[in-house]
Amino acid sequence: MLREFLDFIRAYPDLLELSGVVGSILYVGGFALVQGGVVCGNGKTYALSKIFAALFVLLSLAGAFNLGAFLIQIGFISFGLWGLVRRVEIKDTVPIVRIPENPIKV
């Protein structure tokens, strides 16, 4: 079944390339939003953006496999899912405290 899917998707190299581009936009866009203070790096939104980015890039590797890139994507997916599970598990037991961006005014 996986082989049939890979053969099918390889017939559309433009879609594979687009998938990689979308994944990289999600990676860089999510990082920019964290650096700009728009989203929290510990939040669900950031974790989900990394998981989806990794899935898109992973799909693009069906056209041109690269072991290093594959391992990075598997790491992002695994740690992203782990973080989401942890967040759900501790949500009921430990309150999440948000620190103000500029706590001290001079």
**What percentage of the chain reaches a pLDDT higher than 90?**
65
Gap between the terminal Cα atoms of the chain = 63
Q: What is the DSSP letter of 97?
A: P
Retrieve residue 61's tokens: 């590797």
Residue 106 has pLDDT above 70, yes or no: no
Give the start-to-end residue ranges of the domains of the chain: 15-91
pTM of the model: 0.79
Q: What is the pLDDT of residue 97?
A: 66
For 44-72, the pLDDT digits (tens) are: 889 999 999 999 999 999 999 999 999 99
Residue 102 has pLDDT above 80, yes or no: no
How far is 68 from 39, CA to CA, in rounded Å? 28
Q: What is the mean pLDDT of the chain?
A: 89
